[in-house]
Amino acid sequence: MTIKHLEEYRDQEIATSIVDRIKRVSKTNVRLMEVCGTHTMSIFKSGIRSLLPDTISLLSGPGCPVCVTAQKEIDAFIGLARADDVIVTTFGDLIKVPGTDSSLQKERANGRDIRVVYSTFDALEIARKHSDKKVVFLGVGFETTAPTIAATIIESKRSKVKNFFVFSAHKTVPPALDALMQTKDVKIDGFILPGHVSVIIGTKAYLPLFEKYKIPCVVAGFEPSDILQPISILVEQIESSAPELINGYPRAVTFDGNKKAQKIMEDVFETVDVAWRGLGVIPKSGLRIRKKFSAFDAEKMIEFSAPESKDPKGCACGEILTGLKIPPECPLYKKVCTPMDPVGPCMVSSEGTCAAYYRYHNS
């Protein structure tokens, strides 16, 4: 099927024909996991779950970067905000995520200088305008956002801005998929691979995962047919016992990915073992600032203290991120945890599974 224009990816007749093919082919009960927060929201918004046969279960995995950020890192962000002469800059989703004893939103209400920016270069400009302050950008994200943050660090060094810093809590997707496959009681029959991340890293980044587990994998875009077509491909692979790694988003994703963005990341960051909410410590899954750029590393250059971290009591965010539970199975969901008063990050982020369920699901 050749689709040339964006509108065709939303065409009802095309979507219906794909759904009909899925229903004809699907015989086995399967669990397919999307590992992209934008996919999670698109699936709910498009009502894709309601179109699929009962044989297919869609799971939402650790695709929301704010959600998988460990509690210890959230508490460190709050500690930085409390430090003297510091301006904290961040993307908006992070503001309301609860730490152990506070949140960035509460700290801002108490007078701390915390600003929402739309890019790291906005944060760099704030540093230029406030040379008497230490301006810290909170780097939370996957391979999608890491290159731009790396580029900002390079520009800060080039232009000799000495009061700009980054706290890098970046994480990389492929090691998390490997960790999921090794997690007890997690059963995944196929992966709907992320579109945005794959633009940067390319489909080749998933080859080690595929070769190790021989699990069907398809990169997907974000329109209804972009998602339905990979589901159809995955079901066909599973029913025929012929797993493949397929690029289902060729208009944006290539085998090699964006080599320039990859080089910028590699120049500025090195891989380290880091903790993920729900998955624990995953080897070589984090990005920390290299020694040659340590002058811009907030963890090393700014003194701050953070409370002893404790995950929110009763919150099932960790199990939800690994597909072990769905939001209605959390005892706090819609009772004490809502978008207006969230307990865990899965209810906060615009890409969070709980937020998606709350907005679009009836239960």
Question: What pLDDT digit, counting tens, does each position of 25-56 carry?
Answer: 999 999 999 999 999 999 999 999 999 999 99
Q: Quick one: pLDDT at residue 2?
A: 46
As a whole number, the mean pLDDT across the chain is 94
Helix (H, G, I), strand (E, B) or coil at 277: coil
Among positive and negative, which fits the CA dihedral 36, 41, 43, 44? positive
Percentage with pLDDT > 70 across the chain: 97
In this prediction, residue 296 has a pLDDT band, given cuts at 50, 70 and 90, of very high
Structure tokens at 360: 């679009």
- Dihedral of CA 175/176/180/182: which sign? positive
How many CA within 13 A on the CB side of residue 275?
A: 11
Residue 349 pLDDT > 80: yes
Say what the pLDDT of residue 182 is: 94
Q: What is the mean pLDDT of residues 160-181?
A: 97
Q: Which two tokens stand for residue 42?
A: 């698109």
CA 295/CA 309 separation, integer angstroms: 27
pTM equals: 0.92
Distance CA 269, CA 271 (A): 7
Q: Give the residue extent of every domain in the chain.
A: 66-172+257-301
Residue 251 pLDDT greater than 60, yes or no: yes
Q: Identify the CATH homologous superfamily for domain 66-172+257-301.
A: HypD, alpha/beta domain 2 (3.40.50.11740)
* Residue 361 pLDDT: 78
Helices (H), ranges, the chain: 12-25, 37-46, 48-51, 65-68, 71-82, 104-109, 120-129, 146-158, 173-182, 195-201, 207-213, 224-240, 259-268, 298-301, 317-321, 353-360
pLDDT in tens, 69-92: 999 999 999 999 999 999 999 998
78 vs 95: CA distance, rounded Å: 10
What is the average per-residue pLDDT within 323-342?
A: 94
**Is 103 a residue whose pLDDT tops 50?**
yes
| Alpha carbon distance 127, 89 (integer Å) | 10
What would the mean pLDDT of 341-356 be, rounded to a whole number? 91
Is residue 98 scored above 60 in pLDDT?
yes
Tokens coding 98: 């609860």
215-226: average pLDDT: 95
The arithmetic mean of pLDDT across residues 272-298, rounded, is 97
